[in-house]
């Protein structure tokens, strides 16, 4: 447990490298006890950060804290202090440079997919999930509902009819269904929810919307937007191994491709970023994407170490 806490603090407050992440992964694979210790340490850190943030907000608003953070006796004090300090001085979940490896929250998820990986998960007898590339989810305990958290990435959920609702937490909102299918996407602080079938309820703060088939809503710190009609088949095309783009700027297309393709594509030309893309790409053939951009738009290709490619 002490080693696990050291790892969490190092990842949260230091400057981890890919080599550090590789060593951590080997450490976690040593035994089930190592893996359990890491998950426990990461959950404690997240709880401490949340509690500290609440204290900061209460003090800023002139309120008085009504709760205190209790720590288990067997856990090192530095974990709680590390979590609180990281929040109060302005640290966030550290994102690695260029997003080339997972953050701490993603590493400590109950289920996680890597780049280009997809995975089906049965979290309950009436609930099934399909995780898209670079997706992390955590299971949460609840007696009257099936509750999961979409930490980051994209997942498609199917909920069969039963009295117990499915609740998915994503960002600062929640998605609730009794019998429905939906696609949820949580990236860079923005959450998009698309109803594929049935009725989906989306809440953020005091605002609530109900989605029906082929409707989508997006929310972020700016608030909950109004639902809009979408092509549900296009949204869920990743489940059939496809990426479909209609009048999307190349910058947006590259961002999406980067989620699946090893390495990182960077556009260094502002005009090139704005070029519109219409097309369908196969997920198992994205190694051809750079060459296609070169051919279609006359882009200049500059390969760099670590799988990084510059387009100009």
Q: What is the DSSP string of 214-238?
A: TEEEEEETTEEPPPEE--HHHHTGG
CATH class of 241-311: alpha beta
- State mean pLDDT over 123-147: 91
Say if residue 52's pLDDT is above 80: no
Residue ranges of domains in the chain:
2-107, 111-234, 241-311
Residue 34 CA neighbour count, 13 Å, CB half: 11
- State mean pLDDT over 181-209: 96
Of residues 290 and 20, more confidently modeled: 290
Give the residues across from 215 on adjacent strands: 195, 229
Residue 29 contacts by C-beta under 8 Å, 6 or more apart in sequence? 35
| Among the ranges given (111-115, 273-277, 283-287), the one the predictor scored with the smallest mean pLDDT | 111-115
Question: Which residue reads 């994503």 in tokens?
Answer: 170
Residue 3 CA neighbour count, 13 Å, CB half: 10
Cα angle, residue 85 at apex, residues 79 and 90 outer, rounded to 5°:
135
Question: Is residue 133 packed enough to be buried (19+ CB in 10 Å), middle (13-18) or exposed (0-12)?
Answer: buried
pLDDT tens, residue by residue, 83-99 = 443 443 333 344 454 44
Q: Cβ(116)–Cβ(262) under 8 Å?
A: yes
Question: Is residue 288 packed enough to be buried (19+ CB in 10 Å), middle (13-18) or exposed (0-12)?
Answer: exposed
Distances (CA, A) of 142 to 10, 146, 164: 31, 7, 10
Say if residue 66's pLDDT is above 50: no
Predicted pLDDT of residue 214: 97
Topology at the third CATH level for domain 111-234: Jelly Rolls (2.60.120)
Q: What is the DSSP string of 66-93?
A: -------TTS-HHHHHHHHHHHHTT--P
Say if residue 135's pLDDT is above 80: yes
pLDDT band for 106, please (50, 70, 90 cuts). low
Tokens of 220: 């972020």
pLDDT tens, residue by residue, 207-259 = 999 999 999 999 999 999 999 999 999 999 999 999 999 999 999 999 999 99
Of residues 58 and 190, more confidently modeled: 190
pLDDT band for 104, please (50, 70, 90 cuts). low
**Mean pLDDT, all residues of the chain:** 82
Alpha carbons 178 and 126: distance in angstroms, whole number: 10
pLDDT tens, residue by residue, 67-82 = 333 434 344 434 444 4
């Amino acid at each position: 447990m002490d080693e696990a806490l050291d790892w969490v603090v190092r990842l949260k407050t230091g400057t981890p490298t890919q080599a550090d992440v590789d060593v951590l992964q080997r450490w976690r694979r040593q035994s089930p006890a190592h893996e359990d210790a890491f998950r426990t340490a990461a959950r404690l850190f997240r709880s401490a950060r949340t509690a500290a943030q609440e204290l900061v907000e209460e003090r800023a608003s002139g309120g008085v804290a009504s709760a205190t953070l209790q720590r288990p006796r067997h856990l090192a004090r530095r974990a709680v202090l590390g979590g609180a300090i990281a929040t109060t001085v302005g640290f966030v979940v550290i994102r690695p440079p260029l997003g080339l490896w997972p953050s701490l929250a993603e590493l400590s998820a109950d289920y996680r997919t890597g780049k280009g990986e997809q995975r089906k998960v049965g979290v309950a007898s009436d609930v099934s999930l399909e995780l898209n590339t670079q997706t992390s989810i955590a299971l949460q305990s609840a007696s009257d509902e099936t509750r999961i958290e979409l930490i980051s990435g994209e997942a498609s959920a199917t909920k069969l009819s039963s009295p117990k609702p499915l609740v998915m937490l994503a960002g600062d909102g929640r998605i609730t269904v009794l019998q429905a299918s939906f696609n949820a996407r949580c990236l860079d602080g923005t959450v998009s929810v698309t109803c594929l079938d049935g009725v989906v309820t989306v809440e953020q703060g005091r605002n609530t919307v109900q989605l029906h088939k082929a409707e989508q809503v997006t929310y972020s710190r700016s608030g909950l937007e109004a639902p809009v009609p979408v092509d549900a088949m296009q949204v869920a095309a990743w489940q059939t191994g496809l990426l479909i783009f209609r009048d999307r700027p190349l910058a947006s297309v590259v961002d999406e491709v980067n989620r699946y393709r090893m390495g990182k594509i960077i556009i260094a030309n502002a005009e090139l970023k704005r070029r519109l893309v219409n097309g369908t790409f196969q997920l198992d053939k994205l190694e051809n994407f750079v060459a296609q951009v070169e051919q279609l738009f006359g882009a200049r290709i500059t390969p760099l170490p670590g799988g990084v490619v510059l387009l100009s």
